[in-house]
Structure 1
Amino acid sequence: MGLKAALSKPFAAFIVRGIEKWKRNAVAVQKRTLLALVDSAKNTAFGKDHSFAEIRNYEDFKKQVPVRDYEGLRTYIDRVVAGEPDVMWKGKPQYFAKTSGTTSGVKYIPISKESMPEHVKAARNALLTYIHETGKSGFVNGKMIFLQGSPVLTKKNGINVGRLSGIVAHLVPGYLQKNRLPSYQTNCIEDWEEKVDAIVGETFNQDMTLISGIPPWVQMYFDKLTEKSGGKKIKDIFKNFDLFVYGGVNYEPYRAKIEASIGRKIDTIETYPASEGFIAYQDSQQEKSLLLLAKAGMFYEFIPADEYYNDNPTRLCLEDVELDKNYALILNTNAGLWGYSIGDTVKFVSKNPYKILVTGRIKHFISAFGEHVIGEEVEHALLTVANEEGVGITEFTVAPQVDTPAGELPYHEWFIEFSNPPKDLISFSKKVDEALQKKNIYYFDLIEGKILQPLIVRSLQKDAFVNYMRTQGKLGGQNKVPRLSNDRKIADELRSFIG
C-alpha cells in the first residue's frame, strides 16, 4: 500500500466522524444555517429590500422572501453581473458559473469565496466516505481522470467566468495534482471529439484507477479506448480501475453498456453537484440514495411538486418533509441565491439520516445526456420553423434514443403528427435541430462535440396520438401526452404509428 493510500484511511475516519455529527443533527444545523445566511446578507441590497434584519426564524423568512427562478431574480443578478458589490451577498462573487437557461438564455450563477470551498469539500468527502466504508484506498495511488469542461476562464466586469467543472479544475488539491489527468493543455481543447482523442492518447498507458464524468461522455471515452486497443475491455486496459464517479444524468440507462465496456462490475459513486451548490452525494455502496448535505452553506426548502404552480404553494423546511413524496427543491445559498427554484425534484427515502433520490425536473424535460432540454425550448424550435414553412403540427412528443447501433451516435427522436407535412422532412428536421441548438447551450455543445447526432423526426399516421391515448385509457378529459420524456415508454409505443 502506498503512502497516500495509507494516510487516506485515518483522514477519512476523521472526516466521517465530523459528518456523523451533523447527520444526527441535520434539522438543527439547517436552522442555524438559515439564520447565519440571513445575518451575513442583512446589509446587502437584497437583504434590505426583504427586511432581513427583522427575520428571526423560518416563518419570518417565508413572509419576506418569495420563491423565484433565475428570471424572477434577474433584476438583482444583472446588477451583480454588472459588477455592483453587496447586491445579493456581501462583496462581489469570486466566479460566475456559466450555465444554460430556459427563458433566460445563458445564466450566470454567482459563486462566492464562501461557497466555492463547499464544492471542493463535498467532492473530497464523497471519496473519503467511500474509503471509510469500504476500506478501499488503493485508487488514490494511481491516476485519476476527470472528464470535464475546459478550464479556460473569461472575465466579466473583473470576475472569472466559466463552466462549473472548468472552475473546479483550478481548485484540485495539491496532493492530487500529480495523479490527475488529462493535462491542462488537453483539458483546454474545446472540440469534444478532438479532446477525447487527446485524452485517450495521454491515458492509454497509464495506471488509471478512478474515472469521473457524465456517463455518455465516459462511454465515448471507453469506446475510443477499446478501438485503440484493438477490442480490449477497459478492465484489460486499466487493470486497477476500481471506481467510477458520476453525476449530471440518470446512470441507469447507461449502466449495462458501461459495465459491458469495462468487462466487470465496479464500485460507483453518484454525486449531485450543481452550479448553485453541491447538494448531495452517495455515502454508501449499500444504497443508491444520496446524503443531503445539511452543512454546506445552503438552507433547503421543499415545495410539494403537485403544488409548485399554485398561487400559494406549501413551503417546507427539512424538519417537515415526508418520505417518498416528490418535492421541488428550493435553495438559499452563501453565494446570495434566495428562494431560488433550481428546477429539480427530489424525494426523501430516509429521514435518519436525510437521504434523497433525484427524481427529475419540475417540468417535462430531456436530460439523458446532460442537456436539460425543456418543453418550452422544443416547442419554440419546432413551431418557429413550422410557421416559417407553413407546416401544420397536430401533436408531437420527444424522447432520447440511447440504444443505437454500433458506430451511430445517440439522438433525440421526435414523433410528430403533421396536419400539413413539410415538403422535405430532412431539411425540416435540420432546421428544427439548428433552432434548438440556438435555444439550449448544452444541446449545442453536445451536437458540436459529437456526443449527439442531430435530431431525427418520425412522421406519424393521422390520429396517431388519439389512438395512442385510447390504448392507454387516457382519451379525452384533461389527459395530455407529455411533450418530452426522459425515457422511452411513450416513444416505443408510438413507433407502431410511424407512417
Structure 2
Amino acid sequence: MGIKALLSKPLAAWVQTNQKSWMEQPAQAQQQVFQQILKKASNTAFGRDHYFKDIQSPKDFAQAVPVRDYEGLKSYFDRVKEGEKDVLWPGQPLYFAKTSGTTSGTKYIPITADSIPNHINGAKNALLNYIHETGKAQFLDGKLIFLSGSPVLEQTAGINTGRLSGIVNHHIPSYLRTNQLPSYQTNCIDDWETKLDAIIEETLGQKMTLISGIPPWVQMYFDKIMARSGKQIKDVFPDFNLFVYGGVNFAPYRAKLFESIGRKVDSIETFPASEGFFAYQNQQDDPGLLLLANSGIFFEFVPAEEYHQPNARRLTLAEVKTGVNYALIINSNAGLWGYSIGDTVKFTSLFPHKLVVSGRLKHFISAFGEHVIAEEVEGALKDAMAEFPEVAVTEFTVAPFVSQGEGSSYHEWLVAFAHPPHEPERFAKALNWHLRRRNSYYDDLISGNILDTLKLTPLPQDAFQQYMKSQGKLGGQNKVPRLSNDRTVADNLLEVVKG
C-alpha cells in the first residue's frame, strides 16, 4: 500500500466520526445552519428586502421568502453580475458556475468563499467515507480520471466564470494532482470528441484505478477504448476498481457499462449540482444517498403534488416522510434563498436521512392528464430489461404523440439500444405494463382506450450522441431529458437520425 492510501485511513476515520455526529441529530444540524446563514446574510440587499433580522424560525422564513427558481431570482443575480456587492451574500462571489437555463438562457450561479467547501468536501468525503466503510484505499495510489468540462475560466464583472466541473478542477488537492488525468492542456479542449481522443491517448497504458463522470459520457469513453484496443475495460485497465458517478439515474446504463468493463467494480453515486453538493452514497449495499445536513445548506421540501399550489407546505428535514416525492428547495451560503433547483427527491430512510433523485419538476408527460414522471419511466424500463436480459440501453427519451385525426394518441419511447430485444413487440408490451402498474392515471387512459399502447422506436446506438452534438451539448455535464411534455426533443432527435 502506497503512502497516499496509508495516510487516507486516519483521515477517513475522522470524517466518519464527524459524519456520525450530525447523522444522529440532523434536525439540530439543520437548525444551526439555518441560524448561521440567516445571520450572515441579514445585511445583504436580499436580507433587508425580506426582513431577515425579524425571522425567528423556518416557518417565519417560509412566510417571508417565497419559493423561486432562477428566473424568479434573476433580478438579484443580474445585480451580482453587474458587480454590485452584498446582494445575496456578503461581498462578491468567488465564481459564477455557468449552466444552461430553460427560459432565461445561460444561468450564472454564484459560488462564494463560504460555499466552495461544500462542493470540494462533498466529493472528497464521499471517497473518504468509502475508504472507511470498505477499507479499500489502493485506488489513491493509481491514476484518477475525472471526465469533466474545461477548467478555462472567463471573467464576468471581474468574477471567474465557468462550468462547475471546471471550477472544481482548480480545487483538487495538491497531493492528488500527480495522480490526476487528463492533463490540464487536454482538459482545456472544448470539442468533446477531440478531447475524448486526447484523453484516450493519455490514459491508455496508465494504471487507471478510479474513473468518474456522467454515465453516458463514460460509456462513450469506454466504447472508443474498446474500438481501438479490441479489449474489454478490465483488460485495458486491470487496476480499475472504483466508478464515481452522478447527474442521472444509473439503472438504465448499468448493464451496458458493466458489460463494457467485463467485471463488477465498486461504485459511488453522488448528487452534485451547480447550486451545491447535496448527498452521496455512504454504503455500498444501500443505493440511498446520505443528505449532507451540516454543509452550509438549509433544505426545505415541498410535496411535489403541491408545488404549483399557492399554499404549498414547506417542510424541514424533521418533517419529511419516506416514499413521498418532494421538490427540493435550498437556502445556502452561496446566497440562494427559497431556491427551487428543479429536482424531486424521495426519502428511502430517516435517521439517517437518505434519498434518491426521483425526477425533474419540468420533465414529465401530462398531455392527457397522466402526469408520468422520470422515476416511473426509469423504473418501467428497469423492470422490462430484467425480463429481457439480452437488452442493453445506451440512452432513451419519452414523448407524447397527440393524434390529430385518425388513430389513437400514445407515448413514444425513443430508445438507442446497445443490444436490442429479440422480440421488440413483447418488450414494448412489458414496458407498457410496468408503466401502467406504476401510474394509475396512465393505466386508466389505456383501459379507457383514450391512449393506445406505447410505441417503441429503436434508434441507432449513437443517436443521442449525434443529437447532443447537434445541440452543442456533447459531453461534459450535459444530460438528455428522459421525458418531455411536448415533442421538441423527440422530433429534433428523429430529424438528426434521418439526416
- TM-score band by shorter chain is 0.7 to 0.9
Match of 2:54 in 1: 54
Shift of 1:364: 2.2
Q: Which aligned pairs between 1:162-201 and structure 2 lie closer than 5 A?
A: 162-201=162-201
State the distance in 2 between where 1:159 and 1:396 align. 48
Contact 1:248 1:370 survives alignment (8 Å):
no
Which residue of structure 2 aligns with residue 97 of structure 1? 97
Aligned-residue offset at 1:118:
1.2
Counterpart residue number, 1:236:
235
Tell me the residue number matched to 1:76.
76
Asked if 2 retains the 8 angstrom alpha-carbon contact of 1:398 and 1:483, the reply is no
Q: Separation in 2 of the partners of 1:118 and 1:314?
A: 27
- Deviation of residue 102 (structure 1)? 1.0
Q: Distance in 2 between matches of 1:443 and 1:374?
A: 19
Count of residues paired in the alignment: 416
1:275 aligned onto 2:274 = yes
Partner of 2:416: 402
Give the secondary-structure state (helix, strand or coil) at the position aligned to 1:63. helix
Alignment of 1:163-312 (within 5 A): 163-229=163-229, 231-312=230-311
Q: 1:397, 1:483 within 8 Å by CA — same for their partners in 2?
A: no
| CA deviation string 1:363-387 (max 9, x = no partner) | 2259999999999xx99xx9xxxxx
Q: 1:299 and 1:400, CA in 2 relative to 1: closer, same or farther beyond 3 A?
A: farther
2:281 and 2:409 map into 1 onto residues whose CA distance is 40
Q: Deviations over 1:137-171 (max 9, x none)?
A: 10000000000001111101100110100111111
What is the Cα deviation at residue 401 of structure 1?
Answer: 2.2
For 1:452 and 1:344, the matched residues in 2 are separated by 14
Structure 1 stretch displaced more, 396-405 or 116-125: 396-405
| Equivalent position of 1:320 in the other structure | 319
- Counterpart CA distance in 1 for 2:168 and 2:395 is 20
**2:471 counterpart residue number:** 444
Asked whether the 8 Å contact 1:102–1:374 carries over to 2, the reply is no
Q: 1:34 to 1:176 in 2, by over 3 A?
A: same
Runs of at least 5 residues in structure 2 that lack an aligned partner in the other structure: 365-372, 379-392, 403-407, 421-462, 491-499
Shift of 1:445: 3.2
RMSD: 3.3
Question: What residue number does 1:111 align with?
Answer: 111
Alignment partners' CA distance in 2, 1:329 and 1:265: 33
- 1:364 is aligned to 363
Identical aligned pairs, as a percentage?
A: 55
In the alignment, which residue of structure 2 is the partner of 1:18? 18
Contact kept? 1:69, 1:341, Cα under 8 Å: yes
**Distance in 1 between residues matched to 2:104 and 2:398, nearest whole Å:** 13
- C-alpha change, 1:61 and 1:371, in structure 2 (3 Å) is farther
Partner secondary structure for residue 290 of structure 1: strand
**Aligned partners of 2:297 and 2:397: how far apart in 1?**
26
Task: Give secondary structure in 2 for the equivalent of 1:445.
Answer: coil
SS at match of 1:171: coil
Question: What secondary structure is seen at the aligned counterpart in 2 of 1:73?
Answer: helix
Aligned to 2:347: 348
Q: How does 1:466-481 map to 2 (within 5 A)?
A: none
Q: What letter matches 2:485 in structure 1?
A: R
1:293, 1:484 → 2: CA distance?
35
CA drift of 1:402 comes to 3.3
Asked whether the equivalents of residues 302 and 315 of structure 1 are also in contact (C-alpha less than 8 Å), the reply is yes
- Cα–Cα, structure 1 residues 248 and 22, in superposed 2: closer, same or farther, change >3 Å? same
- AA at the equivalent of 2:22: W
1: distance between equivalents of 2:256 and 2:110?
Answer: 37
Matches of 1:57 and 1:443, distance apart in 2? 49
Between the aligned partners of 1:31 and 1:442, the Cα distance in structure 2 is 45
Distance (whole Å) between structure 2 residues aligned to residue 448 and residue 263 of structure 1: 24
**Cα deviation 1:180-230 (Å, max 9, x = unaligned):** 00000000111111111100000001000000000010011111111221x
Secondary structure of the structure 2 residue equivalent to 1:27: helix
Instruction: Specify whether residues 348 and 174 from structure 1 end up closer, same or farther in structure 2 by C-alpha distance, changes over 3 A only.
Output: same
Contact 2:145–2:210 (CA<8 Å) still a contact in 1?
Answer: yes
Between the aligned partners of 2:261 and 2:160, the Cα distance in structure 1 is 38
Q: For 1:372 and 1:318, how far apart are their aligned partners in 2?
A: 33
Q: Distance in 2 between matches of 1:73 and 1:374?
A: 31
2:83 is matched by which residue type in structure 1?
G
Structure 1 residue 60, shift from structure 2 partner: 1.2
Which of structure 1's runs of 4+ aligned residues deviate more than 4 A? 365-375, 394-400
* Residues 29, 293 of structure 2: 8 Å contact kept: yes
Q: CA deviation at 1:444?
A: 2.3
What's 2:367 paired with?
A: none
Structure 1: distance between partners of 2:470 and 2:112? 28
Which residue of structure 2 lines up, in the alignment, with residue 478 of structure 1? none
- The farther-off stretch of 395-404 and 350-359 is 395-404
SS for the counterpart of 1:328 is strand
Q: How many Å separate the matches in 1 of 2:248 and 2:72? A: 26
Give, in whole Å, the separation in 2 of the partners of 1:400 and 1:443. Answer: 17
**Partner SS for 2:472:** helix
Matches of 2:3 and 2:244, distance apart in 1 = 23
Task: Give the equivalent residue in structure 2 for 1:334.
Answer: 333
- The aligned counterpart of 1:132 is 132
Distance apart, 1:3 and its partner CA: 1.0
The C-alpha deviation readout for 1:6-29, integer Å capped at 9, x for no partner, is 111111011110111011111001
Summarize deviations over 1:386-430 as a string: whole Å, max 9, x none. Answer: xxxxxxxx9786655231579xxxxxxxxxxxxxxxxxxxxxxxx
User: Partner letter of residue 72 of structure 2?
Assistant: G
Q: CA deviation at 1:316?
A: 0.3
1:364–1:482 Cα contact (<8 Å) kept: yes
Structure 1, unmatched stretches of 5+, are 383-393, 407-432, 456-480, 489-499
Structure 2 Cα separation of the partners of residues 271 and 176 of structure 1: 20
Residue type of the alignment partner of 2:231: K
Checking the alignment, whether the CA contact within 8 Å between 2:397 and 2:413 is kept in structure 1 is no
Q: 1:118 to 1:304 in 2, by over 3 A?
A: same
What is the match of residue 387 of structure 1?
none
Out of 482, 485, 491, the residue aligned to residue 483 of structure 1 is 485
Q: Distance in 2 between matches of 1:206 and 1:177?
A: 15
* One-letter amino acid of the counterpart of residue 351, structure 2: N
- Rounded to whole Å, the distance in 2 between the matches of 1:372 and 1:77 is 34
Superposition deviation, residue 59 in structure 1: 1.4
Give the match for residue 493 of structure 1.
none
Residues 75-127 of structure 1 deviation map (CA, whole Å, 9 limit, x = unaligned)? 11111111100001100011000111111111110100110111000100000
Residue identity opposite 2:417 in structure 1: D
Q: Is the 8 A contact 1:164 1:275 kept in 2?
A: yes
1:30-75 C-alpha deviation (Å, 9 max, x unpaired): 0111111110000000000000011111111111111111111111
Q: 2:390 maps to what in 1?
A: none
SS of the equivalent of 1:89 reads coil
> Contact (CA 8 Å) 2:324, 2:347: kept in 1 or not?
yes
Q: Secondary structure of the equivalent of 1:260?
A: helix
Question: 2-side partners of 1:145 and 1:93: how far apart?
Answer: 28
